[in-house]
A and B are shown apart, each in its own frame.
Chain A
Amino acid sequence: MPDGPLIVQSDKTLLLEVDHPSAEQARRSIAPFAELERAPEHVHTYRLTALGLWNARAAGHDAEQVVSTLIEFSRYPVPHALLVDVAETMARYGRLQLVQDPAHGLVLRSTDRAVLAEVLKSRRTAGLVGERLDDATVAVHPSERGHLKQVLVKLGWPAEDLAGYVDGEKHPIELNHTTEPRTSHEKASAWEMRPYQAQAVDGFWHGGSGVVVLPCGAGKTIVGAGAMAKSGTTTLILVTNTVSARQWRDELVRRTSLTEDEIGEYSGARKEIKPVTIATYQVLTTKRKGVYTHLELLDARDWGLVLYDEVHLLPAPVFRMTANLQARRRLGLTATLVREDGREDEVFSLIGPKRFDAPWKDIEAQGYIAPADCVEVRLTLPESERMTYATAEMEDKYRLAASASGKKKVVEQIVARHPDDQVLVIGQYIDQLEELAEHLGAPIITGATTNKERQRLFGAFREGEISRLVVSKVANYSVDLPEASVAVQVSGSFGSRQEEAQRLGRIMRPKADGRTAHFYAVVARDTVDQDFAAHRQRFLAEQGYAYRIVDAEDLDESPADSSAL
């Protein structure tokens, strides 16, 4: 195609011109093997990575398909070296296979003896494999299945895991297509899985194990429920915190045939083990006298499915535990595969390849998540604060800038602009938040707030009984606040990109009246606050959320809605 929508760069980035007539087609064709890196307004950038190509291989795409797709949509001749590299990289996946041998149990088998010899020679595989059965086969200790896969990815020869899964203890679970009303003024309503959710469940089930990437608000819980129904077995669900655990429980009760009695909570507060058990990462990683005290949970039942919520936050010890769970089906749910710690390859090797991915903007365009308007408000610090800031120690600078006193007034202004909206004020520093809560006359939720109180406040916010809520980072994840349409961020945890995504996610649930969501970040000018904000916003901009920068002084003149611009 001489005038294709795609430009293939030799550094393995793919530039997709969005406004091109065949852009949509090209996007669909490259999505299975290329990672979307940036999706700003005109040209999206995808990247070819080894993991991405292996993901594609795992999903049944071959190098020829990838190459012909690139050539078909490319505007200029595709760099030859890149094509060769794609073919070579993809050929590396599956040369080694983990299979069940009827006589020897779990074995590592190779179609290429040289590769097997190479990986066996590596010091890293020592101790993970047993005796050499023949030229192309070596025994593997079943307990080392996960470690071995991790090591093989690091060695560049990812193994295809065909060893299958234990069936697990049967437990019938079905989707309940009519939701129970949660509150008195809600009506029971019929629902179906959205098409992309069904695709995600199928993709996962077909692949055995893996990760489903969906933006916040796109209904990951339902994908989880769908997977559980498909599996029909006892399930262990690992989530980030207790609030999230409760929400999972509520959703499962509403959406499936499961009753409250069948669902157990295994957290700091309660230690129930039921056919479906929801545990927090925190409780799993609790150590006493150097040992993980709750490891037995993993073997407490013959789990048929292990579900990981927010995979990108999976703490390192859970990776290690997961390495021992390789015989069970695993489903990872996340909004982004980007990990601040760069352990994407462990997610790949231990939980599984990416099985489904849909860009935010697409789902937004389909109306499943709310459109958002992002504004950065720049606040000029008064002279006195600037002096304090300039002479402060490095480690105090961010706190000083982030909790600048002027922000109070700006937040007040913003809140005043949205009298009819449900507004969340999110921040990092408790004293700043407390001050703000007092100033706005709004309740506050922090780490110190009891779970009961949290539940009550979230419930009241959902019901519309309170329209302003000040929250600390405890609300970053998995708190379902569908009606929140305005978020004001006064401080963040430095430059974390995924935090920004999560916070944006708070307000992205589709609104009943299709309102636009607003996301404000209040930033102190000429300070590290601004630099961190720039880093975080880059993520948003790359996701295609154009943002505006407004000076705090001009806030009043600036229209509240970007659509009015």
Chain B
Amino acid sequence: MASSLPAAPAAATRHFADDLRQRSDTALAALLRARPDLAAPSPSTLRSLAARASSRTSLERALARVDALTLQVLEAVLALEPVFRPVPERSGPREAQETPPDEATGTAPLAGPLSVDVVTWALGGSAEDLPRVVAAVGLAVEQALLWDAGGQHGAALDLRTVPGLDELLGPNPAGLGPHLDPVPDGLPEAVGHALGSAPGRTETAVALDKLLAQAPPGARAILDALAWGPPVGVVPPAGSRPRDAVNWLVTAHLLVRSDARHVVLPRLVGLALRDGHTHREPRTLPPEPQGRAVHTTTADAEAASAALELVRRVRLLRQAWDENPPSVLRAGGLGVRDLRRVATQLETDEQATAFVVEVAALAGLVRDDGDAPPSYVPTVTDWDDLDDAARWARLVEAWLVSRRAPWLVGSRDDKGALRAPLSPDLQRPWVPRLRAGVLGVLAGEPAGDTVVAPASEAVVEVLTWHTPRSIPPASAVEGLLAEAEWLGVTGAGALSTPGRALVLSRPDGSDAQVAPVNRASDPSGDGGPAGALRAVLPHEVDEILLQGDLTGIVPGRPSRDLARLLDRSTDVESRGAATTVRFSPASVTRALDQGETADGMLDELAHRSPVPVPQPLEYLIRDTARRHGAVRVGAASSYLRAADATVLAGLEHDPTLVGLNLVRLAPTVLAASVPAATLHEALRKRGLVSALEGSDGRVLVARKGVTGRAMPAPRSAAAIRTGTGSDVAGRAPDPEALVAELRAVEDAARAGARARADAAEVARSVATSGGGVPMRGYRVVAGVPSTEPKREGPRPGALEPLAAADAPRLDRAVTPVPAIGTDPPDDDAGTQHPADGLALLRDALRDGSTVIVEVAGHTGRLERRELKPLNLDGGRLRALDPDREAELTIAVHRIAAVLPTSPAP
């Protein structure tokens, strides 16, 4: 809504807003930290902060993060608050004005405060649970999901839910029906007693028994059936015995007819039946993750081999892509065929390969070369110079903060297209949070001799406790667990020691926004994940047992030098705790190709073998070396041959022909590195009458443009360097600075409070007179209100254009705060937020009071009506117009402004 809502303080938000206002700066900063969406874009006043904090979207986000206990607390408070009278505020601006028991609060039969003790009891908890409930309440208050209606420092909290929470948690919190009048005798006292002190059990039972003393048979059974919800029952057919019981219960106000076919159990009756509890028992602790117990040594050994394997695969990937860079798909990502090829080279399946590719890219080890058309190439980095543990640390640290979901590779998106590795399609902002959650579950068990390896279902179960309103998809959890296994963060499904070190190295791993890849982590030091991995890696072995069947066995992890030697001169047959290699003519040839000599190899092998080099192996190496190089191959672009060797004599060293790079291959043959045509011309110039020859050896008739194909320039990845470029995420505004600004605005607003009250008074008079004239002090904006629904309330003066700009820039834009204070006629500008209007509507709904609503009519003209809201849902407001005694439905986007009917105190 583009309208600027004239927000006057409303009857119920007032309390919540006051609570916020009375909070300390630290508390407000904590709120902004806990709910970052409140801080971006920056709210201009505390009241708009309060309004935003009670908006549906923000509440949904906040609820998505609360754990099961906190959710229970919220449900309990929500269920209890209609039956608790607020404790009158003993200090503050409204002190003098004792709220009379009006329609809204008059039916609340229980005296407050709705304290933590009450909540604990309501949850079915005992004294031992109290500290946890206190913590949960503290968290909920910090996040402004609960607030203290008492507002008395030192006094017991009188808890209330933030306005708007009831919409999200449904009409029957904790399965309790609505609070309805009249209340059966004795119940309020009994429930109050039950909630007030622990040994009050019998009180409710006694009260109920008393009420049911005259009840027809079956009545109690009906109540018991509805007691734990859902609280709505179907009315039995007329004439039956249950129907009589229902009728009796309705008469006794123990049930209420909600419509012709249904009865509902009133909240207080429900509470009485539940002995004052809202829940059977508090879910104070997350469930223990169930799973096999794995020995730490096993987990570490598995992790070590997984880590080595991953490092090896990334190395192979870089080699493979250096030789043969795959092209980037048009939509980004790696094609299926290239993925399969890499999978074959890495000797693993496509899913694991996709992960290797992703993790290599995350660590900046491979990337798009930016050519046209682009290809993926390895980057130039110091990674290759590190030892295995440090290389692993680079990979795993990059993974820890990644927002990518490689497990989706191979699945299809909405359009039916295959998701490719490295494609932008795999970006998921919630991945770091879920990953931190999963790692948190794994790390939940303290390190010991054995570690639990939870199944993915068990992990989901624990995560469900942590965020019951946002249950993570099982496939994502499985994907993350598989990744952890591939990385060696877990071994045999249990968190390994290096994995634990990784989790501990970044306790706030959840907050990925502020945790870019930490390249500063010491790669060679013994601290951190690298050090932890180094400690569990099998010992390096510098020894190879050579055998007569041309195999060699390294009984452990080969040292770097040994690995290099074996890499060159053997084929690996079996990898694992030990390495089995085989020497073959092909592998020895490869070593010779790379510059080894037979004697060098034999010396080195003899040096590293505790047993003499077997005769067959020695024979193999010498025999292969003997044959190596017997036939040689080279590149030439053209050749020059003559029947008479003397014709060619001297050409090779002729200074005028130096550019041709002539090489004598045989007495009658020279090779050149230039195309045949160039050679031909150069020779002609020198006075040698040459003729061009075709591929079949016959002389060609000279034609124009006979050129050889130029040798393609060798591809080089050297130009591409590792960069962190994309890590610059939008920076959230600093909560402390923001709070300070809000305070400043608040003070300025307070100065003009009087004027505002006056203005409100005028507004009221206008409203009652039914006039539609915009008044001074309220900017009423006509026109189509829905053009910019997402836009925050416009700011006065120069700030206006900035308000619509990108959110991340706002932290710079909020500086000219004084402008607000120096604009007295528009002193309410800061609260001009559509949410304010909605908050007023919501409060009116709750209190059953009326508000003045400005609606854009069909002609675009504003109409002003006093309405009693009945329902606000799905973008529609259903309301009663008391003047006209008519019910009407208004699309919310047509509402330009909502004003309270009474001025603020």
- Which chain A residues have a beta carbon within 8 Å of chain B's beta carbons? 7-11, 13, 15, 17, 38, 40-43, 45, 75-81, 526, 538, 541-542, 546-549
Measured between alpha carbons, how far is A256 from B302 in the docked complex, in Å? Answer: 57
B548 touches A541 (CB 8 A): yes
Measured between alpha carbons, how far is A270 from B661 in the docked complex, in Å? Answer: 81
Interface status of B636 (Cβ within 8 A of chain A): no
Measured between alpha carbons, how far is A80 from B576 in the docked complex, in Å? Answer: 12
Shortest Cβ distance from B616 into A: residue: A549
Interface status of B545 (Cβ within 8 A of chain A): yes
A11 touches B548 (CB 8 A): no
Chain A's nearest CB lies how many Å from the CB of B572?
Answer: 10
Measured between alpha carbons, how far is A41 from B614 in the docked complex, in Å? Answer: 10
Shortest Cβ distance from A13 into B: residue: B574
Chain A neighbourhood of B611, CB < 8 A: 41-42
Shortest Cβ distance from A77 into B: residue: B301
Interface contacts (Cβ under 8 Å), in number, total: 93
Hey, what's the 0/1 contact readout for B551-583 against A, CB within 8 Å counting as 1? 101011000000000000000001111101000
Measured between alpha carbons, how far is A45 from B575 in the docked complex, in Å? Answer: 13
A526 touches B627 (CB 8 A): yes
Chain A neighbourhood of B806, CB < 8 A: none
With A7-B577, A549-B615 already in contact, the answer to whether A38 and B301 are too (CB < 8 A) is no
Measured between alpha carbons, how far is A7 from B63 in the docked complex, in Å? Answer: 53
With A7-B578, A80-B298 already in contact, the answer to whether A75 and B549 are too (CB < 8 A) is no
A541 touches B574 (CB 8 A): no
What are 21 inter-chain pairs, A to B, with CB distance below 8 A?
Answer: A7-B555, A9-B575, A10-B575, A15-B555, A15-B580, A40-B548, A41-B547, A42-B611, A43-B555, A45-B580, A75-B577, A76-B301, A77-B297, A78-B298, A79-B305, A79-B576, A80-B298, A80-B302, A80-B491, A546-B615, A549-B619
Chain A's nearest CB lies how many Å from the CB of B64?
Answer: 36
Measured between alpha carbons, how far is A305 from B316 in the docked complex, in Å? Answer: 57
B576 touches A10 (CB 8 A): yes
Measured between alpha carbons, how far is A17 from B295 in the docked complex, in Å? Answer: 26
Measured between alpha carbons, how far is A9 from B555 in the docked complex, in Å? Answer: 11
Chain B neighbourhood of A78, CB < 8 A: 298
Chain B's nearest CB lies how many Å from the CB of A16?
Answer: 10
Chain B neighbourhood of A77, CB < 8 A: 295, 297-298, 300-302, 577
Chain A neighbourhood of B294, CB < 8 A: 80
A76 touches B577 (CB 8 A): yes
B578 touches A15 (CB 8 A): yes
Across the A-B interface, the 4 shortest Cβ-Cβ residue pairs = A541-B549, A9-B576, A77-B301, A80-B492
With A548-B616, A549-B616 already in contact, the answer to whether A38 and B549 are too (CB < 8 A) is yes
B545 touches A43 (CB 8 A): yes
Interface status of B550 (Cβ within 8 A of chain A): yes
Shortest Cβ distance from B294 into A: residue: A80
Measured between alpha carbons, how far is A79 from B295 in the docked complex, in Å? Answer: 12
Chain B neighbourhood of A526, CB < 8 A: 627
Interface status of B538 (Cβ within 8 A of chain A): yes
Shortest Cβ distance from A84 into B: residue: B492
Shortest Cβ distance from B627 into A: residue: A526
Measured between alpha carbons, how far is A549 from B548 in the docked complex, in Å? Answer: 11
Chain B neighbourhood of A79, CB < 8 A: 301-302, 305, 576
With A41-B548, A42-B553, A77-B301 already in contact, the answer to whether A9 and B577 are too (CB < 8 A) is yes
Measured between alpha carbons, how far is A77 from B304 in the docked complex, in Å? Answer: 11
Measured between alpha carbons, how far is A538 from B545 in the docked complex, in Å? Answer: 17
Chain A neighbourhood of B553, CB < 8 A: 15, 42-43
| Extra contacts besides A40-B548, A77-B295, A77-B297 (4): CB < 8 Å | A7-B577, A40-B547, A80-B493, A548-B615
Measured between alpha carbons, how far is A15 from B545 in the docked complex, in Å? Answer: 12
B616 touches A541 (CB 8 A): yes
Measured between alpha carbons, how far is A549 from B575 in the docked complex, in Å? Answer: 29
Chain A's nearest CB lies how many Å from the CB of B820?
Answer: 64
Shortest Cβ distance from A546 into B: residue: B548
Chain A neighbourhood of B575, CB < 8 A: 9-11
Measured between alpha carbons, how far is A542 from B580 in the docked complex, in Å? Answer: 14
Count residues of chain B with CB under 8 A from any CB of chain A: 33
Chain A's nearest CB lies how many Å from the CB of B535?
Answer: 15
Chain B positions 563-607 with a Cβ under 8 Å from a chain A Cβ: 574-578, 580
Measured between alpha carbons, how far is A548 from B627 in the docked complex, in Å? Answer: 20
Hey, what's the 0/1 contact readout for B299-318 against A, CB within 8 Å counting as 1? 01110010000000000000
Chain B's nearest CB lies how many Å from the CB of A73?
Answer: 13
Chain A neighbourhood of B576, CB < 8 A: 7-11, 79
Chain A neighbourhood of B578, CB < 8 A: 7, 9, 15, 76
Chain A's nearest CB lies how many Å from the CB of B253?
Answer: 57
Shortest Cβ distance from B557 into A: residue: A76
Shortest Cβ distance from A71 into B: residue: B298
Measured between alpha carbons, how far is A548 from B545 in the docked complex, in Å? Answer: 18
Measured between alpha carbons, how far is A102 from B611 in the docked complex, in Å? Answer: 64
Chain B neighbourhood of A43, CB < 8 A: 545, 547, 553, 555
Measured between alpha carbons, how far is A40 from B546 in the docked complex, in Å? Answer: 10
Measured between alpha carbons, how far is A75 from B773 in the docked complex, in Å? Answer: 91
Measured between alpha carbons, how far is A75 from B297 in the docked complex, in Å? Answer: 12
Measured between alpha carbons, how far is A411 from B611 in the docked complex, in Å? Answer: 33
With A9-B574, A10-B576, A77-B297 already in contact, the answer to whether A538 and B555 are too (CB < 8 A) is no
Measured between alpha carbons, how far is A526 from B615 in the docked complex, in Å? Answer: 18
**CB-contact partner of A13 in B305, B580, B627, under 8 A:** B580
Hey, what's the 0/1 contact readout for B518-559 against A, CB within 8 Å counting as 1? 000000000000000000001000000101111101011000
Which of B538, B577, B615 has the largest number of chain A CB atoms within 10 A? B577
Chain B neighbourhood of A538, CB < 8 A: 549-550
With A7-B576, A11-B574, A79-B305 already in contact, the answer to whether A547 and B548 are too (CB < 8 A) is yes
Chain A neighbourhood of B549, CB < 8 A: 38, 40, 538, 541-542
Chain A neighbourhood of B551, CB < 8 A: 38, 40
Chain B positions 611-635 with a Cβ under 8 Å from a chain A Cβ: 611, 614-616, 619, 627
Measured between alpha carbons, how far is A76 from B302 in the docked complex, in Å? Answer: 10
A10 touches B305 (CB 8 A): yes
Chain A neighbourhood of B493, CB < 8 A: 80
Measured between alpha carbons, how far is A133 from B539 in the docked complex, in Å? Answer: 59
Chain B neighbourhood of A547, CB < 8 A: 548, 616
Chain A's nearest CB lies how many Å from the CB of B320?
Answer: 22
Measured between alpha carbons, how far is A38 from B574 in the docked complex, in Å? Answer: 13
Shortest Cβ distance from A541 into B: residue: B549
Measured between alpha carbons, how far is A41 from B580 in the docked complex, in Å? Answer: 14
Shortest Cβ distance from B620 into A: residue: A549
Chain B's nearest CB lies how many Å from the CB of A63?
Answer: 16
Shortest Cβ distance from B555 into A: residue: A7
Chain A's nearest CB lies how many Å from the CB of B218?
Answer: 45
Chain A neighbourhood of B305, CB < 8 A: 10, 79
Chain B neighbourhood of A75, CB < 8 A: 555, 577
Shortest Cβ distance from A376 into B: residue: B616
Chain A neighbourhood of B548, CB < 8 A: 40-41, 541, 546-547
Chain A neighbourhood of B556, CB < 8 A: 76
Chain B positions 781-818 with a Cβ under 8 Å from a chain A Cβ: none
Chain B neighbourhood of A546, CB < 8 A: 548, 614-616
Which of B295, B491, B545, B575 has the largest number of chain A CB atoms within 10 A? B545
Shortest Cβ distance from B615 into A: residue: A548
Chain B's nearest CB lies how many Å from the CB of A504?
Answer: 15
Chain A's nearest CB lies how many Å from the CB of B400?
Answer: 24
Measured between alpha carbons, how far is A556 from B627 in the docked complex, in Å? Answer: 25
Chain A's nearest CB lies how many Å from the CB of B573?
Answer: 8
Shortest Cβ distance from B453 into A: residue: A80
A541 touches B555 (CB 8 A): no
Measured between alpha carbons, how far is A40 from B582 in the docked complex, in Å? Answer: 13
Measured between alpha carbons, how far is A7 from B580 in the docked complex, in Å? Answer: 11
With A9-B577, A11-B574, A546-B614 already in contact, the answer to whether A42 and B547 are too (CB < 8 A) is yes
Chain B's nearest CB lies how many Å from the CB of A83?
Answer: 9
Chain A's nearest CB lies how many Å from the CB of B489?
Answer: 15
Measured between alpha carbons, how far is A10 from B628 in the docked complex, in Å? Answer: 36
Chain A's nearest CB lies how many Å from the CB of B566?
Answer: 15
Measured between alpha carbons, how far is A543 from B614 in the docked complex, in Å? Answer: 15
Shortest Cβ distance from A40 into B: residue: B547
Measured between alpha carbons, how far is A79 from B577 in the docked complex, in Å? Answer: 9
